[in-house]
Structure 1
Amino acid sequence: MRNKWIVSIDDYRKASRWHLPKMITDYLDGGALDEITMRANRDSLDALKLRQRSMVDLSNLATDTTVLGQSVALPLIVAPMGMLTIFHPGSDPAVARAAVAAGSIFIHSAWAGCSLEEVAPFAGDKLWAQVAFWKDPAETESYIQRARKVGVKTLVVAGDVGSASKRERDLHHGLSMPPKPPVIDYFTTAMRPQWIYRWLTGRKMTYGNYTIGGKALRMNQMNQWMANNKNSSASWDDFAKLRQQWDGKLVIKGIMDAEDAARAVAEGADGVFISNHGGRQFDAQPATIDVLPSIVEAVDGKAEVYLDGGIRRGHDIVKAVGLGATAVMAGRPFAYALATGGEPAVAKAFKILHDEFKGAMGFVGKTNVASIDESVFALPSRVNDYV
């Protein structure tokens, strides 16, 4: 499907399948275990219905807002995504440039395919950096110092990576570290010569934030590095220490419980990021939109609240903001676009979502983001189920 015929994020999802081998599309589309949580994210968003209003003056409708004091063109931010290099050699810089051009913010993943230093010139002050607590505190401290050096003002703590679940689609394809794909995947990959050409001639597939011997980690080195550095003992104490040493903004990602949200605020979080990794981690939890109202109540205006998980349409953004989110995050939509057509496609994905969001605001009769609240819902009883 040519880029000019693409009119939705789902079009990009379908088009990406023509550009990527099946083992990569399954990695991008898949979730943990039975993928119940991944489906729940969409099902719960779809269950919410919006209230159409008529005869509203929309001549001054504005989609802009602020996120932690930064102006954005709409309440949509790029969620941290690792390994973007396997989708397109443009990788993180391409997505970052498109995000900034669209008036958004780019969050650089701790598991990114290229380094923070490479992305920083393209993202400027719209760059947030995700940080993980590694076993060796010096590794974490080094990364924080690098973030300071390139001008990062907001850190996003990976708060839910102590445990991990099987992603069975990946296991069927042998996507371990290093990958050991079955014979059939060699044939299906051969049917995507453009991807092979990019892989052979473009950016090498690495974990660019970390090094062995001064060189970025290659995929076949990740197991060794993780074995030496994975930290299963990270706790709120580590977050509190980081709060003491970091004078910028601090967001914690992976909050799915009101009690944890309240604790995050008590420990000094400026933002609480509701996320279930798009259903890629724990397959026995609610959709993110389901827990949003209770977390907003627990935070009680003392921190901003963000949400990811299943965002595919502009009206999804209205629904999340209507239930109290400051902004939403999205990952897969921009990965689909990146795989399909690089930076120009990511830019178009932003425009699609922006236009849809503006249209949805008009239908619910809201002319600015601050005015979007529970009154946008057509079925108040359904909203009350969340409170």
Structure 2
Amino acid sequence: MLPDLSYPATAGDWRARARRRLPRFLFDYLDGGAGAEQTLAASVRDFAAIRLRQRVLVDVGAVDTRAQLAGQDCAMPLALGPIGLAGMMARRGEAQAVRAASSAGAPFTLSTVGICALDEVCAAAPAGSPPPWFQLYMLRDRSAVRALLDKAWQLGCRTLVFTVDLPATGQRLRDVRNGLAHSGARAAALRATQVLARPGWVWDVALRGKPLTFGCLTEQVPGGRDLNAFKAWVDAQFDPTVTWSDIAWLRQHWRGRLLLKGILDAQDARAAVDAGADGIVVSNHGGRQLDGVPSTIAALPAIAAAVGGQTEVLLDGGVRSGTDVFKALALGARGVLIGRAWIWALAGGGEAGLRELLATWQREFTLAMMLTGTTRVADIGAAQLEPGPA
């Protein structure tokens, strides 16, 4: 039986709320991973195994959690990572999320396959706040890539998060079981049954949240306002032939900061530096691509040792609290991107829920600094960890 969630306190509490509110196929789309979900489980488990070194009687009356990520001032070293279909999880979800993130002093990253268009998200951001970051894939249609880059630049985006670990979609078995991987009447009927079981979602998102289109791609995708036509186009656009030379092409066409997301190997991290990336995101795509690869927190130390002095190293995957943010920094990251945690909060409580989650994490991160005797983000490192393997 689920606990009383009148006052959600953790990312897990928000997950439980999201599960109650979303149709099953949407919740499982967010929650699930590839294969047997071993990597997904390891991402959380490996964070839990890290032990912090508590210190006492240190003057921590002036703890400063501020940091810079991709040249942007942040209240703490955290950004909201890209989530596809966020606008299906809450009404105009990406617009709500950018408001919450901006109020918390955190960058927001818009997914190419978000529901809200980039201009809607930029307009939703509070006046004077930095523009969102923009996430993109390498598509077979390079003219579509150029058009998306140009649009993002025109709207003020200066940080591009480029996903490099998606030559094809991973085998996500929950999506198979829920009919997302199938077409036809049987799959449609299964999804319709799950939708009808969530009348609150139908009213708030499906009816009041229109248009439910892929806002960033309506100009590029033939029939882009039809979800089935979009899926067929995207399936054909994932490009398994992409190599580092394509990243060099991208570097020539993007004048802003370039972060490559999906690095899990030190050799690839060095190649990213050589290709001109301004930073990397150590990521296994939330355990959604290849089951059996390491958790990102396990892969981080070797990558940080290899390139941390040359480029900005960020991490995503398995981060479930402000204390986890601290642990990632102690193992060599400059900051983290979060995914499931923020979309669970948005799905479970809207903009207010996401604001509450980020405020909780700010308190947790501050407390971790205080109880390890650390007053500046720049001082977080191996000295704040108990000896032994992560």
- The TM-score with structure 1 as length reference comes to 0.94
Q: Secondary structure at the match of 2:261?
A: strand
Cα 1:75–1:147 shift into 2, 3 Å? same
Q: CA deviation at 1:156?
A: 1.1
Q: For residues 57-206 of structure 1, what are the structure 2 equivalents within 5 Å?
A: 57-123=59-125, 124-176=129-181, 181=187, 185-198=191-204, 199-206=206-213
* Residues 300-315 of structure 1 aligned to structure 2 (within 5 Å): 300-315=308-323
User: Which residue does 1:367 correspond to in 2?
Assistant: 375
Aligned residues: 382
CA RMSD of aligned residues (A): 1.9
CA contact (8 A) 1:31 1:167 kept: yes
Distance 2:52 2:383 in 1: 9
Match of 1:382 in 2: 389
Name the amino acid aligned to 1:283.
D
CA distance in 1, matches of 2:319, 2:136: 23
Match for 2:29 among 27, 31, 39?
27
Deviation at 1:6, TM superposition (A): 1.2
Query: CA deviation digits over 1:264-317, x for unaligned, max 9?
Result: 011111111011111111102000001101111111411100101111111101
Aligned to 1:332: 340
In structure 2, the residue corresponding to 1:234 is in which secondary structure? coil
Contact 1:173 1:182 in 2 (8 A): no
Distance 1:382 1:126 in 2: 39
Q: Is the 8 A contact 1:44 1:289 kept in 2?
A: yes
1:218 is matched with which residue? 226
1:307 aligned partner, one-letter code: L
1:225-266 C-alpha deviation (Å, 9 max, x unpaired): 225533222211111112123221111000000000001011
Q: Deviations over 1:176-223 (max 9, x none)?
A: 376863756544432311011131332233222112688743312123
User: Any residues of structure 2 matched to 1:262-301 within 5 Å, and which?
Assistant: 262-301=270-309
CA contact (8 A) 2:66 2:73 kept: yes
| Deviation sequence 1:323-368 (CA, Å, 0-9, x none) | 1100011011111111112111111111111111111111111111
Give the alignment partner of residue 230 of structure 1, picking from 219, 227, 238: 238
Q: Partner residue of 1:48?
A: 50
CA contact (8 A) 1:62 1:368 kept: yes
1 CA distance for matches of 2:235 and 2:170? Answer: 17
In the alignment, residue 154 of structure 1 is paired with which amino acid? T
Any conservation in 1 of the 2:34–2:170 contact (CA below 8 Å)? yes
How far residue 118 of structure 1 moved from its aligned partner, in angstroms, is 1.4
State how far apart, in whole Å, the 1-side matches of 2:287 and 2:237 are.
25
Q: TM-score, normalised by structure 2?
A: 0.93
The letter for the 2-side match of 1:336 is: W
Q: In structure 1, how many angstroms separate the alpha carbons of the residues matched to 2:212 and 2:4?
A: 26
Unaligned regions of 5+ residues in structure 2, if any?
none
8 Å contact from structure 2 (residues 168, 238) kept in 1 = no
Unaligned runs of 5+ in 1: none
Q: Deviations over 1:155-178 (max 9, x none)?
A: 111111103221111111101376
Q: Report if the CA contact (8 A) 2:164-2:262 is conserved.
A: yes
The amino acid across from 1:297 in the alignment is A
Identity of counterpart residues, as a percentage? 36
Alpha-carbon shift at residue 90 of structure 1 (Å):
2.6
The offset of 1:2, in angstroms, is 8.1
